[in-house]
């Protein structure tokens, strides 16, 4: 197993500069514009190196290949969609179609879906035919969430690696060797790419890499936490807290400002942190830290009692709300908690006078 992990890491590490030379030759680059942070053209399609390293690892693992073929075929559809988008900038509907097809492959062929959950006070909720659309929505949503945070050098690769290592740790505790091996292979492939992608980036993973990482992470979270209790179902959401909350806030922000949901903006978490004065590198490292904090919450959550879990979620939501208001992630005028605290402070000062 260690030899397979090392092979994936070295393959990605050695293949990434080769991919960079090829895409430079064909001028497949992310050119500066009002949506991007980079000020010079940066080669894209780095996700191809991650994907190839992952494939080598998957087919080197001593596991039943029954699930691997749907996983590989679905991932190939996602990667192809990403490549076409990186080169030709596909319309949103075609990009979404590719993701839905890939999700459908793993659901219908691979049999990956959440069929029911156990309620905290007894009983079960069976999703029935809704399990299929719900699973597809989850996979597509996580794929796009990873893609949305891919706005700074090394951000998506680093956050994805942190999520993967957390899922691997949880799978180890739950005794799931299949998830452990797949996660280790993908983490190694991503880490091999990261030295070229960290600030200042020599190559971007593009939608090719971001959608691929999101796709596999979404599936791994389903494999590791399917058919669990209602409370435990929150664990993968916590592990993927940064991309999920950033995506939810982006949707809320666009609804509030009455702009198209698919329209890009510069008010994501990383943009807001940089507006506060953090450098590019500091912002990325800070978001790494936030991702690790979410992962820590997920680990503590699994060991908590029922009421302890609710208390933990309440504290986390308060912390998230505080960050949302301070950073203006919804709008600069959305600060209900801060206004309430300010009013209470003023009243307290008036009482003292």
User: What residue ranges do the domains of the chain occupy?
Assistant: 2-230
Q: Distance between CA atoms of 151 and 283, rounded to whole angstroms?
A: 11
pLDDT tens digit sequence for 115-163 = 777 665 566 777 888 889 999 999 999 999 999 888 889 999 999 999 9
Crossing angle (nearest 10°) for helices 68-88 and 47-58: 170
Number of H helices, E strands in the chain: 14, 4
pLDDT tens digit sequence for 34-73 = 666 666 889 999 999 999 999 999 999 988 777 789 999 9
147 marked among binding-site residues = yes
Nearest in space to 28 (alpha carbons), one of 73, 89, 79: 89
Cα–Cα distances (Å) from 123 to 120, 155, 233, in that order, read 8, 41, 15
3-state secondary structure 130-197: HHHHHHHHHHHHHHHHHHHCCCCCCHHHHHHHHHHHHHHHHHHHHCCHHHHHHHHHHHHHHHHHHHHH
Q: What is the dihedral of CA 26, 31, 36, 38, to 10 degrees?
A: 90
CA 101 from chain centre, in angstroms, equals 19
Q: Residue 234 — pLDDT band, cuts 50, 70, 90?
A: confident
The pLDDT assigned to 120 comes to 59
- Global pTM reads 0.89
């Amino acid at each position: 197993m260690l030899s397979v992990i090392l092979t994936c890491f070295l393959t990605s590490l050695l293949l990434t500069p080769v991919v960079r030379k090829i895409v430079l030759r064909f001028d497949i680059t992310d050119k500066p514009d009002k949506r991007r942070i980079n000020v010079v053209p940066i080669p894209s399609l780095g996700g191809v190196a991650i994907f190839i390293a992952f494939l080598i690892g998957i087919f080197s693992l001593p596991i039943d290949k029954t699930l691997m073929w749907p996983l590989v075929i679905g991932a190939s559809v996602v990667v192809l969609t990403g490549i076409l988008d990186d080169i030709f900038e596909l319309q949103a509907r075609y990009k979404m179609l590719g993701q839905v097809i890939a999700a459908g492959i793993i659901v219908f062929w691979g049999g990956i879906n959440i069929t029911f959950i156990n309620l905290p006070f007894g009983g079960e909720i069976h999703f029935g035919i809704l399990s299929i659309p719900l699973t597809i929505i989850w996979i597509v949503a996580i794929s796009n969430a990873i893609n949305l945070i891919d706005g700074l050098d090394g951000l998506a690769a680093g956050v994805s690696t942190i999520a993967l290592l957390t899922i691997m740790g949880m799978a180890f505790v739950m005794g799931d060797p299949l998830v452990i091996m797949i996660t280790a292979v993908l983490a190694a492939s991503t880490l091999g790419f990261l030295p070229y992608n960290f600030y200042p980036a020599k190559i971007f993973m593009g939608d090719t890499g971001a959608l691929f990482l999101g796709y596999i992470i979404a599936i791994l979270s389903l494999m590791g936490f399917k058919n669990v209790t209602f409370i435990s179902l929150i664990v993968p959401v916590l592990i993927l807290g940064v991309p999920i909350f950033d995506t939810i806030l982006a949707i809320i922000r666009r609804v509030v400002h009455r702009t198209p949901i698919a329209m890009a903006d510069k008010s994501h978490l990383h943009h807001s942190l940089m507006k506060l004065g953090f450098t590019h590198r500091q912002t990325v490292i800070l978001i790494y830290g936030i991702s690790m904090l979410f992962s820590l919450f997920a680990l503590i959550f699994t060991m908590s009692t029922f009421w302890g879990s609710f208390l933990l979620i309440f504290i986390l939501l308060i912390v998230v709300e505080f960050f949302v208001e301070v950073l203006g992630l919804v709008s600069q005028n959305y600060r209900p908690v801060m206004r309430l605290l300010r009013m209470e402070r003023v009243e307290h000062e008036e009482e003292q006078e």
